[in-house]
Amino acid sequence: MAANGTSNAGTIAELVRAQWGDHRIGAKYGDRALTHHELAGGAAARAALLGELLPRGAEPHLGVLLDNVPEYPLWLSAAALAGAAVAGINPTRRGPELARDISHTDCALLITERAHLPLLAGLALPLPPERVLVVDDPAYEELLAPYEGTPPDQIAAGSTAARPPTPDSRMLLYFTSGSTGAPKAALCSQGRLAAAGHSLVGYLGVRRDDVHYLCMPMFHGNAVIAGWAPALAGGAALALRRRFSASVFLPDVRRYGATYFTYVGRAVQYLLATPPAPDDRDNPLRTGFGTEAGTVDTARFAERFGVRLIEGYGSSEGGAAIQRTPDTPPGAVGRPAPGDDLAVVDPETGTELPRARLDPAGRLLNGEQAIGELVNRGRSSFEGYWRNPGATAARTRGRAEGRVGAGWYWTGDLFFRDTDGFFHFAGRTDDRLRVDSENLAAAMIENILARYAPAAGVAVYAVPDPVAGDQVMAALALHEGAVFDPDDFAAFLAAQPDLGTKMAPRFVRTVAALPVTATNKVHRVALRRAGFRCPEPVWWSPVTSAARTTAPAGSGYRPFTDEDRVALLALYRDQGRAHLLDR
């Protein structure tokens, strides 16, 4: 038995079965509360239904297109019991790209709700209407009724169309993006997810009386791996918020008695932008765990709310992880997680790069020599991408004998390592962007912007966000005689059915011609380094520095003035991220 009273189960299914007979509160949502026993029973009923609905011979995959409602963890648990896998479907995706995600992951069943049905209207889905279950439709309750009361152990005996679960059983297919276009579905087995849950129980000190507040979307790995899994492994309860809301965060935390929450980047910024109140520290939270909050905002959060944020780094695919230790200096992420052999290397030669030299203020002095790609040279938990052997091979460089770095896990992220061995995040490789904690591929956005009639050429690239992650910038080479019309461009963006909510450019640079390399490729490095500090006209959807928040990108563009540049650069300096503009 572990210190918290739970066994170190090897599968998620074992953890779900362990809930049976536990009548403590296991999940809270609005005025609704479910015991752990009810969660296990509900999962078993859904697993039994799954066994009836899954076509024989089909991949045991179900797509879940839901907000954070109780049905989401119920179906995660049901899939675990049945030896099936959940593909988290992102509701910010649109049109053919949304249909592509469902089709690519071979979803034999789609779980959704009425609020998301308009997203599916008119799409060519790869499954018939009877295998689209709408959880807030009365017909759904009728389907479930015959299976109510099914014990979880009965499902574990293999009574469904899926296989009895083992540690190697596929559990999650969650989308990530790289530089090659369409999102890739990373695989996560029951064994890896259970191990992550157990590890975080120990790392975070999860207790049985804890309440994990899940306000980050559950189609994202953060909420499932860092929120749901450690709650399940530690016997803690869940509190669900349909969608993140900064204004109701503290009322929710107090209402549910939440002691822990997960976050990604901008969520912390939004919370800090709410009006301060004298009782901000009057809350039951013990800690938050996430990424990309930034050193400045982490300190501000602790000062204002009395809550310690634990920053970490972990590739979505599970190939590398960095943990913050008590002696981690400001600005650093931390040291490698146990078992990882991490290094910062030259991406061409695989040679480990020199350690970084920092001045007394923490500014990097030898970035050109010290910044490289983070790799894991040891054994990683990367399990590949679904139906994408090329992308899988690229992550490990094909494991080919004699090839530099073959068999290592290549994160695609840029880091430097200081003389004390601490790793510092320095950005992402050329064609990858991370906006509001969503991974995007520049090529996908370029394909959409290429439809803009006045543009003869388009290049999309990342500029660092003042606080966390990236912002989207686009360079448009206009046809001869064309003039950039910001209102027309905004209307064009609004009319694109496959433009996700995070894809609209924050900055637009108009150029006579796109810069190219000697091999006639778009010179992204030059574009990225210039960013918004370029000689050509730049238009933008403004960042409000006073509140440290942003207007929705693409909602309206205006000229980026010298005054705007001065104010924005000051914001970068205040957040300790000005050096990223020169990478």
User: What's the pLDDT score for residue 367?
Assistant: 75
Q: Is residue 557 part of a domain?
A: yes
Name beta bridge partners: 288: 261, 309
Are the C-beta atoms of residues 308 and 287 closer than 8 Å to each other? yes
Token code pair at residue 357: 């030299």
Maximum alpha-carbon separation in the chain: 73
Burial profile 55-67: b = 16 or more Cβ within 10 angstroms, e = fewer: eeeebbbbbbbbb
71-82 vs 36-53: helix crossing angle, rounded to 10 = 60
Which tens digit of pLDDT belongs to each residue from 510-534? 999 888 764 456 788 889 889 999 9
pLDDT band at 161 (very low <50, low <70, confident <90, very high): low
Check residue 439 and give its pLDDT: 60
253: number of Cβ within 10 Å = 23
**SS3 for 522-583, per residue?**
ECHHHHHHHCCCCCCCEEECCEECCCCEECCCCCCCEECCHHHHHHHHHHHHHCCCHHHHHC
Residue pair 26/38 in contact (Cβ under 8 Å)? The answer is: yes
- Percent share of the chain, pLDDT over 90: 63
CATH number of the domain within which 185 lies:
3.40.50.980
Residues 421 and 442 in one domain: no
Are 448 and 548 in a shared domain?
yes
- Could you tell me if residue 128 is inside a domain? yes
The pair of structure tokens assigned to 463 is 């500029």
Whether residue 301 is contained in a domain is answered as no
The pLDDT value recorded for residue 405 is: 82
Are 86 and 173 contained in the same domain?
yes
Residues 424 and 441 in one domain: no
Is 3 within a domain? no
For residue 504, the Cα-to-chain-centroid distance in whole angstroms is 18
Same domain as 165, residue 117: yes
Residue 274 lies in a domain: no
Q: Find tokens 């953890």 and name the residue.
A: 15
Which is more confidently placed, 119 or 317?
Answer: 119
Mean pLDDT of the chain: 89
Q: What is the pLDDT of residues 177-234, one digit of tens each?
A: 543 456 789 999 999 999 999 999 999 999 999 999 999 999 988 899 999 999 999 9
Of 339, 336, 263, 272, the residue nearest 300 (C-alpha): 272
SS3 for 16-72 is HHCCCCCCCEEEEECCEEEEHHHHHHHHHHHHHHHHHHCCCCCCCEEEEECCCCCHH
Minimal CA–CA distance to 271: which of 311, 239, 235, 300? 300
Q: How far apart are CA 230 and CA 199, in angstroms?
A: 8
Arithmetic mean of pLDDT, 21-46? 98
Helix ranges (DSSP H) in 93-135: 95-104, 117-120
Are residues 448 and 418 both part of a single domain? no
* Residue 231 forms part of a structural domain: no
pLDDT tens figures, 270-323: 898 899 999 999 999 999 999 877 777 888 899 999 999 998 888 878 899 998
How does residue 144 score in pLDDT terms, banded at 50, 70 and 90? very high
Residue 429 has pLDDT above 80, yes or no: no
Q: How much of the chain exceeds pLDDT 70, in percent?
A: 91
Looking at residues 142-160, what average pLDDT do you find? 83
Q: In the prediction, which pLDDT does 4 show?
A: 43
Nearest to 434 by CA among 470, 381, 394: 470
Q: How far apart are CA 469 and CA 313, in angstroms?
A: 13
Residues 6+ apart with CB under 8 A from 557: 486, 487, 489, 490, 508, 539, 540, 541
Same domain for 422 and 442, yes or no, is no
Instruction: Look up the CATH number of the domain holding residue 574.
Output: 3.30.300.30
Handedness of CA 145, 147, 150, 155 (dihedral sign): negative
Please indicate, yes or no, if residue 125 is contained in any of the structural domains.
yes
List, edge to edge, every strand of the sheet that includes 507-511: 455-464, 470-478, 507-511, 538-540, 558-559
Q: Which of 428, 457, 487 is the last residue of a domain?
A: 428
Q: Give the lowest-confidence range in 132-146, 167-181, 362-376.
A: 167-181
Is there a single domain that holds both residue 59 and residue 21? yes
> What pLDDT score does 83 carry?
95
Q: At 196, is the secondary structure helix, strand, or coil?
A: helix
Q: CB–CB of 12/232 below 8 Å?
A: yes
Q: Give the range of the structural domain holding residue 447, as residue numbers without chain letter.
A: 437-582
Phi/psi class of residue 205: alpha, beta or left (left: φ > 0; alpha: ψ in -120 to 50)? Answer: left
Structural domain ending residue among the three candidates 153, 173, 190: 190
Last residue of a domain, one of 428, 459, 485: 428
> Is there a single domain that holds both residue 371 and residue 508?
no
Q: Indicate if 338 and 410 belong to the same structural domain.
A: yes
| pLDDT of 1 higher than 60 | no
For residues 36 and 209, what is the distance between their CA atoms, to the nearest angstrom? 12
Number of domains in the chain: 3
**Residues 363, 482 within the same domain:** no
For residue 485, being part of any structural domain is answered with yes
Residues 420 and 331: beta-carbon distance below 8 Å = no
**What is the pLDDT at residue 544?**
46
Same-domain status, 420 and 460: no
- Helix, strand, coil percentages (3-state) for the chain, rounded to 5, are 30, 25, 45
Tell me what pLDDT residue 545 has: 37
Secondary structure class of 146 (helix, strand, coil): helix
